[in-house]
Amino acid sequence: VEELEDGRYGFFSFTPNWLQCCNNAKGFLVAYSFFVVVQGMFVNGFINVSITTLEKRFGLRSSEAGVISVGYDIAFCILTMFVTYFGSRSHRPRIISVGAFLLGVGGLIFSLPHFTTGLYSFEEGFATLCNGEDHGDGCASGASYLSNYVYVFIFAQLINGVGCTPLYTLGLAVIEDSVPKESASLYLGIGNAASIFGPVLGYGLGGVVLSFWVDFDQIDTSNVNLTPSDPRWVGAWWLGTMISMACAFLLVIPFAGFPAQFKGTAQFRRMKNAEVDKTTGGEVAKEENFAKSYKDFPKALMMLAKNKTYVFVTLADCSEAILISGFTTFLPKIIESEFQQSAGTAALVAGVISIPGGMLGHVLAGLIIKCFNLKTANILKFNIVCCLCVCALSPSLLMYCRNRPVAGITIPYNNTNDLGGIMSTCNANCSCQEEFYIPVCGTDGINYFSACAAGCNEHIENGTDSYYNNCSCISTPSNNGWQASSGHCVTNDCNSLGAFLGVFCVCVMFTFMSSTPSLVVTFRVLPQRIRTFGLGVQWLFIRALGSIPGPIMFGTVIDLTCILWQKRICDGSKGSCWIYNSEDLAINALIISVVVKIVSSILYAIACFVYSPTAEEEQTPTDEKIDIDDDVISVEKAP
């Protein structure tokens, strides 16, 4: 194996020959892919799939849960410019190694609330039947609400953001620097495809861990008379973060062994200047000592601001980030609410449509650019087409299921016009609690918030099943001695989930088909000396204007469609949402999708219009022969 110009792969003096198979761009791409899988699995997978569970466990609103998601992006925004400006001249793989360690620390902090709180309680401090008793005793018994733990989650996300800042900036720059221009799109596409697999893996495994009771490590779960389909069920949300923590700590080792750069990097850099936008001020960037001092920081920012193509591509990526971050955070909740699925099942099916769509989109876009040798202007036109295709397919969001008939919420109580709450004349004397959603199905085919809301006075146990009788709000006669049974009424009128998943999978594919091309354009239009810094500034704006407001905006819009809020027993304050209006939720999601995609199309079109390359694409210099071996990248002088 050839010696590489900047050192061998290894640790201190331990650099055996058998390890040098990793000492190239392909080896780094493998390590990078594993890191983005772990990051995506944790930050964009386990955390997002646990949003509904965290809301129930800690009494959070969707808007508060959205703030948890953006904590990661806030830290990313604060650090990205400094990491990319100064880190580009440092040992980049080792900085990424430190980032992996910090991601592990963030995972540890995120899981701490589980170990520092008591057991999750449900049905405490109140009776489920209509008995006219006051239900405030739960407060006196010491019940507390844990919404302040939101700050612990936010702090953990800040640490996660610090750890992953080098990954998506310095890591991508290392890959782009280490391969020829013709191969860069494919390498970047593979790396981005791996970033899709992470959240999907998190969704899939998240659905599995949420099927375990939250306190399974502390109690005998055979005594828990709930199933994952019960609205009161809280799964083991913390288990996924512990898995991610262990994986992150393991990733510290491979990145610590890479050299500062691979052989051939300098030659590849020189061959990537033909398509730099001429408005950037390339003559300054070519100065030997430019960007080696903090004094050049303002000048580098001005160069980026003058590059109109770069500016409009960045704004388009911000627009895309709003949509991607919003759906990444709340897609499981949307599926759960619109298609009457449990949190675990919603997480699994969200993963099912994201795996093929996202990965195929990234890789297919990279292959198209490579196979057709697309120039920068044509890449931007390709992105416009992808955005318009998503607009055409977005009406698939309207394939929702109508809300279940819930007395007082979506359908009036029998022989009344009462809507807007669970209380009616038939249960006015029952003093029903509104904090815990414990649905029962009446023999009239209507769901009730609880047996108390149905006016039931008698509870009948039959093994693991619960039945209720003497229900004043149910006018139909008893069925085998009961008028209501625990759980939702089973219906067969919600069968559109399969069609939705198929169409939305194609939407996901076209959405991510524009991500890798945008990254390729960014690298092409910037001079080498500010390329990494430009990527960092771009990520700053993507996070600040896209990823941060995206989940908050989606969470706020989702909250607007809530038709039944949790009402806490102690102080009557509003908690999380129990039931959403399916129609309003679908329409709002459709409007956001179409508007964002139209804005992205316009911005990509402007970027294409203002693009002006420095020169026509140059051929590879005749005195250099570039060979990309299966194991190492070598640059040999031709005879």
pLDDT digit string, tens, across residues 402-421: 899 999 999 998 767 767 78
The pLDDT confidence band at residue 238, using thresholds 50, 70 and 90, is very high
> Which amino acid does the sequence have at 92?
R
471 in the same domain as 546: no
Using a 10 angstrom Cβ sphere, with 0-12 exposed, 13-18 middle and 19 or more buried, the burial of residue 481 is exposed
pLDDT at 86: 80
Place of tokens 């599926």: 335
Q: Which two tokens stand for residue 212?
A: 């375990």
Tell me which residue range forms the domain holding 442: 425-486
473 in the same domain as 334: no
568 in the same domain as 606: yes
Q: Which of 486, 504, 522 delimits the end of a domain?
A: 486
532 in the same domain as 429: no
501 in the same domain as 482: no
201 in the same domain as 322: yes
Q: How far apart are CA 471 and CA 320, in angstroms?
A: 52
Q: Is residue 413 part of a domain?
A: no
Q: How far apart are CA 88 and CA 261, in angstroms?
A: 11
Query: Percent of the chain scored above 70 by pLDDT?
Result: 86
Query: Percent of the chain scored above 90 by pLDDT?
Result: 38
Going by C-beta distance under 8 Å and a sequence separation of 6 or more, which residues neighbour residue 83?
Answer: 95, 165, 166, 169, 170, 536
Q: What is the CATH number of the domain that holds 96?
A: 1.20.1250.20
> What's the number of domains the chain is made of?
2
Q: Is residue 585 part of a domain?
A: yes
The pLDDT confidence band at residue 6, using thresholds 50, 70 and 90, is low
pLDDT at 624: 40
Q: How does DSSP assign 322-352, residue by residue?
A: HHHHHHHHHHHHHHHHHTT--HHHHHHHHHH
Q: Which two tokens stand for residue 600?
A: 């992205």
Q: Is residue 1 part of a domain?
A: no
Q: Which of 271, 355, 311, 313 is nearest to 528 (CA)?
A: 271
Evaluate if residue 576 carries a pLDDT over 90: no
Evaluate if residue 141 carries a pLDDT over 50: no
Q: Is residue 604 part of a domain?
A: yes
The pLDDT confidence band at residue 521, using thresholds 50, 70 and 90, is very high
> Which amino acid does the sequence have at 215?
D
Q: Which of 164, 184, 98 is nearest to 543 (CA)?
A: 164
CB 614 within 8 A of CB 285: no
The pLDDT confidence band at residue 132, using thresholds 50, 70 and 90, is low
Place of tokens 């022989």: 415
pLDDT at 72: 86
> Which amino acid does the sequence have at 142?
G
Place of tokens 């087409």: 385
For residues 483-503, average pLDDT: 88
Q: Which two tokens stand for residue 239?
A: 């288990």
618 in the same domain as 518: yes
CB 240 within 8 A of CB 209: yes
Q: Give the number of other Cβ atoms within 10 Å of residue 403's Cβ.
A: 20
Q: Is residue 416 part of a domain?
A: no
pLDDT at 2: 35
Q: How far apart are CA 57 and CA 234, in angstroms?
A: 7
Residues pairing with 479 in the sheet: 482
Q: Which of 437, 457, 486 delimits the end of a domain?
A: 486
Q: Which of 436, 467, 486 delimits the end of a domain?
A: 486
pLDDT at 286: 56
Q: How far apart are CA 291 and CA 141, in angstroms?
A: 63
Q: Is residue 268 part of a domain?
A: no
437 in the same domain as 392: no
For residues 569-591, average pLDDT: 87
Q: What is the mean pLDDT of the chain?
A: 83
Q: How far apart are CA 464 and CA 446, in angstroms?
A: 22
Q: How far apart are CA 580 and CA 559, in angstroms?
A: 8
Q: How far apart are CA 621 and CA 347, in angstroms?
A: 52
213 in the same domain as 294: yes
227 in the same domain as 86: yes
Place of tokens 């008995």: 131
Any idea what the Cα angle at residue 467 is, between residues 463 and 472, rounded to 5°? 165
Q: Is residue 442 part of a domain?
A: yes
Q: How far apart are CA 207 and CA 242, in angstroms?
A: 15
Evaluate if residue 620 carries a pLDDT over 70: no
Q: Which of 508, 541, 492, 154 is nearest to 318 (CA)?
A: 541
pLDDT digit string, tens, across residues 84-116: 888 777 888 999 999 999 999 999 999 999 998
CB 335 within 8 A of CB 489: no
Going by C-beta distance under 8 Å and a sequence separation of 6 or more, which residues neighbour residue 462?
Answer: none
Q: Is residue 418 part of a domain?
A: no
Which is more confident, 215 or 436? 215
pLDDT at 621: 39
499 in the same domain as 479: no
pTM of this prediction? Answer: 0.76
Going by C-beta distance under 8 Å and a sequence separation of 6 or more, which residues neighbour residue 443?
Answer: 474, 476, 477, 478, 479, 482, 483, 484
Kindly tell me the sign of the dihedral angle through the C-alpha atoms of 68, 246, 200, 597. positive
Place of tokens 């000396």: 529
Q: How far apart are CA 264 and CA 628, in angstroms?
A: 10
pLDDT at 277: 65
Q: Which of 377, 456, 359 is nearest to 40 (CA)?
A: 359
Q: Which two tokens stand for residue 534?
A: 């430009």
Q: How far apart are CA 168 and CA 160, in angstroms?
A: 13
Going by C-beta distance under 8 Å and a sequence separation of 6 or more, which residues neighbour residue 577?
Answer: 55, 61, 62, 558, 559, 562, 564, 565, 566
324 in the same domain as 202: yes
Q: Which two tokens stand for residue 172?
A: 């991508």
DSSP class of residue 402 equals P
